[in-house]
Amino acid sequence: MRKPVVPFPFATGTSNRFGRSSLGGGLAATNSNARVYTQAVPARAVVNAAPGSSTMVNLGLNSERSRGMMIERLRRQGIQDERVLDAMMAVPRHLFVDEGLASRAYEDAALPIGYSQTISQPWVVARMISVICENKAPAKVLEVGAGCGYQAAVLAQFIKEIHAIERIRGLYDMARDNLRALKLSSRVRLSFGDGMEGLPGVAPFDAIIIAAAGIRIPQALLEQLAVGGRLIAPEGTTAQRLILIERTGAANWHRAELESVRFVPLRAGTQS
C-alpha cells in the first residue's frame, strides 16, 4: 500500500480557546514525522483542563465515536491486525496533542507536538506496528523516538514489555507525563538518551520501531534485534521508504522495502 504525500492541513496555524495559535505553522506531509517548532500540552494537563473548555467537553462526549471512525478508516486502508486496531481504539489520541488540535486528533494526519516534532498519522502508527507483529506476538519491543508517548501507549495495550527512548528532554518529560496520566508507566520503560545507540544493556528485542529516517539503519540497532525479530524504520534523505529488517541468524539480516514515507532525520546525541 502506498500513501500519497499531501500538504499538511495545519500549515497556517490553528485556533484554540485562547485565539489564533502558530502551532502547526509550516509544511509537512500526512505520512510524515516532519517537525514544526512549538510547545504542546501533556496529557496530564489536558486531563485536568477546566470544565468550561468547549473543545474538551465535545471530545469527552465524542472521542470514542471519533476513534471508531478512525478504526474503520484504518480497515479500509488495509490494516487488518485486530490487536493493533483494538489498541488504537483504546488509546485517546486527543490527549497527546495540543488542545487547539484535539478536535483533529482522529484525522489521518501528523500533528505537531512541540520541539519541531510531530505525532505520526494514525495510518503510519498502525502500519509500522502491524508489520512487526504480523504472524508474531513480540514480547519485548524497543521504540526509538518516543515523542509524546502515543505509539508506546498503543504498543502497551498488547505488548508485555515496551522500552522507549527519546533524545529531546522536553519530549521525554511530556511522554512521561502522558503515560503516567493513562497509568501506563509500569508497562513502558521510558529512557532519555541517544536512540541510535539503542539499549544494549536491555537487548535483545523481539521488535524495534524507529520513528526517524537515517541514511542507513544503525548497526547498533541491528545487533540488538533478536534472531527472528523484526525492525521497521524509514530510510533515506529526500526520498524515503519504510524498511523491514528481519534477523535470520547471528550475522544475517533480511531486508525488504515497503511504502514511500517522509520522516525527519535520525539524529545522534541528546537535546536538553
Give the active site residues: 120
The Cα–Cα gap between 59 and 207 comes to 34
Strands (E), 53-187: 111-114, 117-119, 140-144, 161-166
The Cα–Cα gap between 117 and 161 comes to 25
The Cα–Cα gap between 12 and 59 comes to 23
The Cα–Cα gap between 114 and 266 comes to 17
**Cα angle at 85 between 164 and 92, to 5 degrees?**
65
**Cα angle at 49 between 44 and 54, to 5 degrees?**
135
First to last CA, the chain: 38
155 within 8 A of 143, measured Cβ to Cβ: yes
* Cell numbers found for residue 44: 496530564
The Cα–Cα gap between 125 and 211 comes to 9
